Amino acid sequence: MRWSLHNKRLAAFAFLTGMIVTAAGVAATAPVDATRQAELSVLLEQDCGSCHGLTRKGGLGSALLPDNIAHFTDEALIEIILDGVPGTPMPPWRRFLNRAEASWIVDRLRQGTSQ
Amino acid sequence: MKLKISIAAIALLMLSACAEIRGTGDLGLIIERGAGSIQIVQTTDRESLATIEGLGDLSHASAVYSRDERYAYIFGRDGGLTKIDMLTHKIVARTMQAGNSIGGAISQDGKLVAVSNYKPGGVRIFDAQTLEPVAEIPAIGANGERSKTVGLVDAPGQRFVFSLYDAGETWIVDMRDRNNPAITKLRNIGKLPYDALITPDGRWYIAGLFGEDGMAMVDLWQPEKGVRRILDGYGRGEKALPVYKMPHLEGWAMANGHAFMPAIGHHEVLVAAEGSWKEVDRIAVHGQPVFVMARPDGRQIWVNFAFPDNDTIQVIDVPTRKIIKTLKPGPAVLHMEFTPRGEEVWLSVRDDNQVIMYDTTTFAEKGRLPVRKPSGIFFTARAHRIGL
């Protein structure tokens, strides 16, 4: 269910982006390949983890386990990742992540950690 | 013949006994962040002596030492407080004292260990010998809510000082009567204090504010005078840059009568005169500073940076306040620790799984140790430093 919504959203985004085949456009719509997934896993664990904890149980930042984020839509979480939360230490990650990558991170957050 | 054998036996016994006797002054520990373990290291020969597993979630971990420098107390992210014997390499006591912690301190007399907790927000104090609980201080601010606590340090007079992140307060806890903690609460220090430092003489407590351009300072010689704002508006008129990792403040960044502190949201090191706390200078650096640490002699300041600039280290010459060296030790340099008199510095390079040692005069690499996802490095010389 969530996955199909996700795909629809990606498809809509790809459509909107249309034929603007700039380098950024390609990056924004390209699926997240295995190499990039490995990089994002490190980013999620280590850099998100520096405030939210390696196990996502929270630190100065809030806990990010599935129950903690259940009340947010995927879209809201993607926006938070890309644009940050003004007035709090949560910074915008748009400089480092495109929408598909933020969406991939949200999916990972929904899955929870193995611990 | 018999006599000869017994003499040989005694000599052998004495030899083996001698081999086991050593001091702890050149020992230290390195946190293995992902593995939940630590390595005990020896700085004279740059070697690892042991790995100790089973310390829980060390994603943010720090350590203090007993005054005899034999025991380390490790504060884990998951609320675990572990006492380690640096000589036998064994865990001698461990308690899960909270759900989520940020750090700790040891009292002036070495008999109490305090832990700063996020969940439930507050400070808990334990007997340093047994880790039995002594006091619990829920950090309920003037807003009536329980706050995360940050910037916990020891101060002279058997005191602990910490700040309330959510409530914006600084509390001073006098533990001279361990059964009756006397708490002084300083309200309205500013928005979102994220960490604090105490100067090496134990007089000035300075909290960094995430929510404001400025820092909140308490003179612990005259706490009744309350909190004073210093370096107010240091970023005024400039757009604050995003901060991808919270800076740390440590009391070591005092050098030559000046305090060197990370600006937040600005790629600068702020320099203030000790005492007046007026801004003297600001030094443009490579990224958002995380640790700004003075070499023990105060001649150099070493700075590491937040993501995405965390592959770099810069060295500032204190008298000229110029950057004299930029090093690229590797991906994700998380922490640095000087040897007790500062001829060498050890750097944690997390994503290379290495700790690298540099000569602080020539900047030549002196050695490396393989360490899994290293973060904090803590040498036993901290035992006798106020605030560490």
* Among B57, B243, B307, beta carbon nearest to A89: B243
Q: What is the pLDDT of residues B210-262, one digit of tens each?
A: 988 899 999 999 999 999 999 988 877 778 899 999 999 876 778 889 999 99
Q: What is the pLDDT of residues B68-100, one digit of tens each?
A: 999 999 999 999 999 999 999 999 999 999 989
DSSP secondary structure string, B49-72?
EEEE------SS-EEEE-TTS-EE
**Inter-chain CB proximity B246 and A53 less than 8 Å:** no
Sequence-distant (6+) residues with CB within 8 A of B45 are: none
Can you tell me whether residue A46 is helix, strand or coil?
A: helix
Residue A4's pLDDT band (cuts 50, 70, 90):
very low
Q: Does B386 touch chain A (CB under 8 A)?
A: no
State the Cα–Cα distance between residues B99 and B97, nearest whole angstrom: 7
* Residues in chain B within 8 Å Cβ distance of A61: none
When the pLDDT of each residue in chain B is averaged and rounded to a whole number, the result is 93
Q: Does B246 touch chain A (CB under 8 A)?
A: yes
- What interface predicted TM-score (ipTM) does this complex get? 0.82
CA atoms within 13 Å, Cβ hemisphere of B142: 11
Domains in chain A with CATH codes: 32-111 (1.10.760.10)
* Among A49, A59, A91, beta carbon nearest to B243: A91
Name which residue leads in pLDDT, B203 or A14.
B203
Q: What is the pLDDT of residues B107-126, one digit of tens each?
A: 999 999 999 999 999 999 99
Cβ burial, residue B174 (10 Å; 0-12/13-18/19+): middle
Residue A50 scores a pLDDT above 50: yes
* Residues in chain B within 8 Å Cβ distance of A82: none
Helix (H) or strand (E) segment spanning residue B384: none
Domains in chain B with CATH codes: 69-75+97-233 (2.130.10.10)
Q: What is the pLDDT of residues B304-348, one digit of tens each?
A: 999 999 999 999 999 999 999 999 999 999 999 999 999 999 999
* Residues in chain B within 8 Å Cβ distance of A54: 33-34, 57, 59, 77
Picking from A44, A48, A60 by the largest number of B CB atoms within 10 A of its own CB, the best residue to mutate is A60
> Across the strands, what pairs with B93?
B83
Question: Tokens 């018999």, residue?
Answer: B2
The answer to whether B355 and B347 are in contact (CB under 8 A) is: yes
* Among A55, A58, A96, beta carbon nearest to B308: A96
When the pLDDT of each residue in chain A is averaged and rounded to a whole number, the result is 80
